[in-house]
Amino acid sequence: MNRAPSKHPKPAARRPRAPHGAARAWLALLPLALLLAGCDRQRSVMPSRATGELPDQEVSDFVLTETDEGAIQWKLYARYSATYNARNVVVARGVRVDFYDDRGERSSELTAREGEIQLQSRNMTARGSVVLQTREGTRMSTEEIRFLNREQKIISPVEQLVRVERSGDVLKGYGFESDPGLKHFEFKKNVSAVLHTQSGGGVLKREGEGR
């Protein structure tokens, strides 16, 4: 009588053990890995570049509106803002400010790479590729300007070059002052202008007053 061959289970293959040194190294790195994983989940807080202080509040898509007896004077938009309570200031990036006239219509638009707003006075400073464009087509460009809220006046640092384009004319100079609608502006010094004539030519004028 033939017997079926017995089937004995084969012993399970042993997994190779890591060297004791490698295991100790992995355990030593485990706390660091857990710390880095926790940092990835934390909210990023950006310190002020000027002082190194941390902001009290950070907001994306920030909006600030200034009114006078219910009428909108200007409205500021920013992609990012940080509020510093100790200095009573808001630092904003990706700035746009819409200015409104007495009829409540938007008269001009200012854009800049960054800005600062004093919360108490609502005075503003705009820096980096600053452009002020009016509804009528007048365009001012510079690298830094200040807006005085109470006086409703825009001024530039005396050392900052300002360029104004209007109706084909180009004026450049220093010590710029204007209203937000660029209806009445002037340069304090070193003014040069290219004035286009009806025939399409240009006349260069130097050391004059702005218009």
| Span 14-32, average pLDDT | 46
Separation between Cα atoms, residue 192 and residue 206, nearest integer Å: 4
Segment among 42-56, 57-71, 148-162 with least mean pLDDT = 42-56
Q: Give the pLDDT of residue 185.
A: 95
Separation between Cα atoms, residue 77 and residue 99, nearest integer Å: 12
List of long-range contacts for 83-87, beta carbons under 8 Å, 24+ apart:
83/55, 83/56, 83/57, 83/58, 83/59, 83/119, 84/48, 84/53, 84/55, 84/56, 85/56, 86/53
Separation between Cα atoms, residue 109 and residue 96, nearest integer Å: 7
| Span 33-45, average pLDDT | 38
* Max intra-chain CA distance, the chain: 126
Backbone angles phi, psi at 80, to 5 degrees: -150, 145
Residue 15 has pLDDT above 90, yes or no: no
Under the banding of pLDDT at 50, 70 and 90, the label for residue 26 is very low
Classify each residue of 125-141 as buried b or exposed e, where b means 16 or more C-beta atoms within 10 Å of its C-beta: bbbeebebbbeeebebe
| Span 187-191, average pLDDT | 93
Q: Quote the strand ranges of 51-176, DSSP E.
A: 57-68, 71-84, 89-100, 106-118, 124-134, 139-148, 153-155, 162-166, 169-174
Q: Give the pLDDT of residue 45.
A: 46
Q: Give the pLDDT of residue 51.
A: 58
Q: Which of 206, 136, 209 has its CA nearest to residue 176?
A: 209
Which residues are CB-contacts of 67 (< 8 A; sequence separation ≥ 6)? 73
Q: Please count the helices (runs of H) and the strands (runs of E) in the chain.
A: 1, 13
